[in-house]
Chains A and B, each alone.
Chain A
Amino acid sequence: MKTFYKKFSEKFIEGLLLLSSTITTLTVLLIVVFLFKEGLGVFNQKPVEEGFVIALNKQNPVNKLSSAQLKNIFDQNITNWIEVGGKKDSIILFRMEDITNYYSEEQIGEQYENLPQCISKVVDSLPNIIAFFSTKYLDKNFQGKQLDIDKISFKEFFSGKEWFPTAQPSAQLGVLPLILGTLWVSLGAILLALPLGLAAAIYMSEIANENVRKIMKPLIELLAGIPSVVYGFFGLVIIVPLIQKTFDLPVGETGLAGSIVLGIMALPTIITISEDAMRNTPRAMKEASLALGASKWQTIYKVVVPYSISGITAGAILGIGRAIGETMAVLMVTGNAAVIPHTILEPVRTIPATIAAELGEASNGGLHYKALFALGCILFIITLIINLTVEYISNRKKYNNR
């Protein structure tokens, strides 16, 4: 009986342990499910907010407009139908509030009871009109034609150059500036952090004596422990004004500020991982180099660095990963302009910063909300690729050393 009890409790505990260890797996799967369910929903939606229609005069040969064309028309960047494949005539914009230009308030009625009819008439009477109004006021016998608007396509999403998720009438969901902004800032960060981090790793593992190392190691750990919001704050009050003054800019919140802050934040990752790799260089290999008359420095750059190159690469890639995923610090110092940056001295906006800045305003389940989840998916995929690459590199190294 007792052995039975013991056996039973052993099995029970083992089951409990197994269960705990599957939670990480479960979480990853859940994250994938939730992220992609919401994110992919974007491609099932039209860029025009639900409950609104775009209508043209029946005689207008134009049947389709892309969301970018729509935006340009309503921004009056496109003013002639010929630019979108129609007749050579200038475009007349019509928004719901414009109705008062055509009809008096009495004609519309106190309860807007005649509004649908009025809109219908206006659209019918002006061949060059494009109208944007709520489906509520769509007349039963509407005399215009409702414009067919494509669902948001993959191509549009990834190659679109504009990100205005709340634009009326048509949301602009081009993630290109955000992706480029993210890569831009991260690349800058790694260009700053890699030489510095590598130098520190070499110094700590090969040059400094044990006492100096014992002091530096916890300091680097501390650097890793400082919350990102504190880095962001530091960047905001020190680095941003400094950049503004140095380059005489209208604003100091720039890609450069983001790169500097992210570079500092990526340092601990790069240093710790490459230092580990270099310290793993077999002593005999270093001795063999020295025994051939090589100096310590020659040994470092001809033997130690090549030997630990995969570890160093892993550190650099993980550093980039950190930078790409970092949210708060970037949000606070890059100025968050959703345009494709041309220099490092312009404001940029990264994917994580966009999510953080906009999710609070996006209505639950709406197009904007889903678009932000789609951004989350992109981020997730990028970091997953980075993780798998690092894994692959470190596995290959093990194989090499056999």
Chain B
Amino acid sequence: MYKIESKNVDFFYGPSQALKNINLAIKPNTVTALIGPSGCGKSTYLRLFNRMNDLIDNTKIAGQVIIDGDDIYAKGVNVDSLRKKVGMVFQKPNPFPKTIFENVAYGLRVNGITDKKFIEERVEETIKQVVLWDEVKDKLKKSAFELSGGQQQRLCIARALAIQPSIILMDEPTSALDPISTSKVEELIYELKTKYTIVIVTHNMQQAGRVSDTTAFFYMGELIEYDTTKTIFTNPKVERTQNYITGRFG
């Protein structure tokens, strides 16, 4: 049983086709890296899984995206519930203009949870989960903007985890961070794998190699190659993948 499957997915921004016939299946509790040169469609593809592209006017999707056996683009799908199940972490840390506590509690509150004690427990639990508790436990009531970039990004991950998603989408989560913060986030990804299915878009080849189990290489809106990370990095079947990975273009 696959966690995420996409079948013959095409995607259009207005008249231009951004994704061409993507077929891909992701197993539960794995980390999948989407790699490829900029503009290859990997981010667009990632944003299909929580229907984030719905927000952009003039877009169109064809084919099926199936999560837990259900087509998420079928009629009558509750998008809010889908997004609760599929968490997302963005390129730049983007905490809300609220306190550290309220940032993590946000997802719970907007999803109708009012039990104070439950919220407090869940917030503490998730901040511990992202190994941020010791750093922020004394300033939960302070603005999230006071944290460093790396701390902010871990807070954003905690924010996504608080509503207990089963899938986490990460759109270049470390591109705005320094090397030390980056390695902390990578460690975190490694630990989170046991509970979640993670799909990560990255520009950084080493990162893909370090954190992912499977890797998908995109080029010009097409899925060129999809295999275990080991195979992609040591023995790619397509020459273009090899060229990209060895840094001959991109």
A–B contact (CB under 8 angstroms): yes
B240 at the interface (CB under 8 A from A): no
Contact with A along B89-104 (1 / 0, CB 8 A): 0111010111000000
- Return the chain B residue nearest A296 by Cβ: B55
Q: Decide if A306 touches B96 in the complex (CB within 8 Å).
A: yes
Contact residues of B between 56 and 81, Cβ < 8 Å to A: 57, 80-81
Asked if A306 meets B97 with Cβ closer than 8 Å, knowing A291-B52, A293-B83, A293-B163, the reply is: yes
B148 CB, nearest partner CB in chain A, Å = 12
Which of B57, B87, B106 makes the CB contact (< 8 A) with A289?
B106
B79 CB, nearest partner CB in chain A, Å = 8
A282 at the interface (CB under 8 A from B): yes
A278 CB, nearest partner CB in chain B, Å = 13
| Chain B contact residue count (CB 8 A cutoff) | 29
Q: Decide if B94 touches A285 in the complex (CB within 8 Å).
A: yes
- Return the chain B residue nearest A294 by Cβ: B110
Q: Decide if B96 touches A291 in the complex (CB within 8 Å).
A: no
Q: Decide if A288 touches B90 in the complex (CB within 8 Å).
A: yes
What chain A residues lie within 8 Å of B50 (beta carbons)?
291
Contact with A along B120-159 (1 / 0, CB 8 A): 0000000000000000000000010100000000001001
Which of B87, B91, B106 makes the CB contact (< 8 A) with A284?
B91
- Return the chain A residue nearest B107 by Cβ: A292
Which of B83, B92, B143, B145 makes the CB contact (< 8 A) with A292?
B83
Asked if A288 meets B156 with Cβ closer than 8 Å, knowing A293-B81, A303-B96, A306-B96, the reply is: yes
B35 at the interface (CB under 8 A from A): no
Which of A282, A284, A289, A290 has its CB near the most chain B CB atoms (within 10 A)? A290
Q: Decide if B163 touches A288 in the complex (CB within 8 Å).
A: no
What chain B residues lie within 8 Å of A210 (beta carbons)?
57
Q: Decide if A290 touches B96 in the complex (CB within 8 Å).
A: no
Mostly, the A contact residues are: helix
B188 CB, nearest partner CB in chain A, Å = 18
What chain A residues lie within 8 Å of B111 (beta carbons)?
292-293
A298 at the interface (CB under 8 A from B): yes
What chain B residues lie within 8 Å of A298 (beta carbons)?
110
Q: Decide if B80 touches A293 in the complex (CB within 8 Å).
A: yes
Q: Decide if A287 touches B90 in the complex (CB within 8 Å).
A: yes
CA distance A291 to B111 in the complex (A): 12
Q: Decide if B90 touches A292 in the complex (CB within 8 Å).
A: no
Q: Decide if A303 touches B55 in the complex (CB within 8 Å).
A: no
CA distance A292 to B80 in the complex (A): 8
A307 at the interface (CB under 8 A from B): yes
CA distance A208 to B32 in the complex (A): 38
B198 at the interface (CB under 8 A from A): no
B88 at the interface (CB under 8 A from A): yes
Which of A209, A288, A309 makes the CB contact (< 8 A) with B94?
A288
- Return the chain B residue nearest A400 by Cβ: B145
Q: Decide if A291 touches B83 in the complex (CB within 8 Å).
A: yes
- Return the chain A residue nearest B145 by Cβ: A400
What chain A residues lie within 8 Å of B107 (beta carbons)?
292-294
Contact residues of A between 300 and 340, Cβ < 8 Å to B: 302-303, 306-307, 309
Contact residues of A between 163 and 183, Cβ < 8 Å to B: none
Asked if A292 meets B94 with Cβ closer than 8 Å, knowing A298-B110, A302-B106, A400-B145, the reply is: no
A295 at the interface (CB under 8 A from B): yes
CA distance A101 to B90 in the complex (A): 95
Asked if A289 meets B110 with Cβ closer than 8 Å, knowing A295-B80, A303-B97, the reply is: yes
Binding site for A on B (CB under 8 A): 50, 52, 55, 57, 80-81, 83-84, 86-88, 90-92, 94, 96-98, 106-107, 109-111, 143, 145, 156, 159-160, 163
Binding site for B on A (CB under 8 A): 209-210, 282, 284-285, 287-295, 298, 302-303, 306-307, 309, 400-401
The 7 lowest CB-CB distance pairs between A and B, nearest first, are: A292-B107, A294-B110, A293-B84, A291-B88, A284-B94, A293-B83, A293-B80
User: What are 8 inter-chain pairs, A to B, with CB distance below 8 A?
Assistant: A284-B90, A287-B88, A291-B83, A291-B87, A292-B83, A292-B87, A302-B109, A307-B97
Q: A291-B88, A400-B145 are in contact. List 10 more A-B contacts (CB 8 A).
A: A284-B90, A287-B55, A288-B90, A291-B83, A292-B111, A293-B81, A294-B107, A298-B110, A309-B97, A400-B143
